Amino acid sequence: MHLSAKSRLALYGVAISLFLCLAGVASADPCLVVYPDAPCVYHYDTSEYYTVTSGHPLYDPAYDRGGEVLIETTTNTIDLSIYQAPNLAGFTPSVGGEEGYFFNFMTFTLFVDGFNNSPITYANILLVFEPQPAACAPIVTVDGNPALSHMTLGLYYPIGDLVVSTPTAEGNNYSDVLTFTIDWQLCQGMRIWAFADEDFDFDWDAAECFTAFSHDVTVPVEETTWGAVKALYQDEE
């Protein structure tokens, strides 16, 4: 399953859930935004986003990361939810449908962010771990506790509820986070995402999710996929 990052997920998930509840149908499960405390590069879908540099009418130096500002194609505005990551270092077009926050650590703090345009409570949030390659068998811990396994969802960890009620500095949005120490081993990479399993059925059934994509730098991978994020660590490798 390839999951791309979309800026309107929280809003769409809430709207879909509300609509289906009012219609008497089982509600959809909204996704949350996940990102690391480590330096990361955001891989974006070129059909959803584009970048501008200094001198462009839409350029805003406050949102410059690595010399570029990321703009949403449908609105020609800056997507504030993507900029939530505290160590966002830059942007690069995605390769092979792999979007999200890419970084090079196997032990890190993970933020689970309920960024939304209005106050809301996300109930029964599950972290989901997808190893790369899919056939490998990783060891994953969350705050020192082993991840659990579900026959259809795969590796996961329940992290409870998140109340989102804090206004952002920019206004018109709200953001609160949960943080966890993640450690994983024995694979080339690990994709992590989160959704609110509000109907407690382990079945994710909403729109696409933001992802954090961690890579073990000791394992060789294709440069076309990882070149941009590996460039951040050329002095360390």
pLDDT at 170: 78
Calpha distance 167→176 (Å, rounded): 9
Calpha distance 66→2 (Å, rounded): 26
Q: Token match 């970048």: residue? A: 51
**What are the tens digits of pLDDT across the range 199-224?**
899 987 665 677 899 998 776 555 44
Q: Token match 């703009």: residue? A: 71
Calpha distance 147→194 (Å, rounded): 13
pLDDT at 7: 35
pLDDT at 88: 97
**What are the tens digits of pLDDT across the range 102-127?**
999 999 999 999 999 999 999 999 99
Domain ranges of the chain: 9-38+104-219
Residue 93 in tokens: 């077009």
Q: Is 187 left (phi over 0), alpha (psi -120 to 50) or beta?
A: beta
Tens-binned pLDDT, residue by residue, of the chain (237 aa): 333 334 334 333 433 333 333 333 445 688 899 999 999 999 999 999 999 999 999 999 999 999 999 999 999 999 999 999 999 999 999 987 789 999 999 999 999 999 999 999 999 999 999 999 999 999 999 999 999 999 999 999 999 999 999 998 877 899 999 999 999 999 999 999 999 998 899 987 665 677 899 998 776 555 444 444 444 444 444
- Pairing outcome for strands 145-146 and 154-164: unpaired
pLDDT at 5: 37
pLDDT at 12: 34
Full-model pTM: 0.80
pLDDT at 221: 53
pLDDT at 58: 97
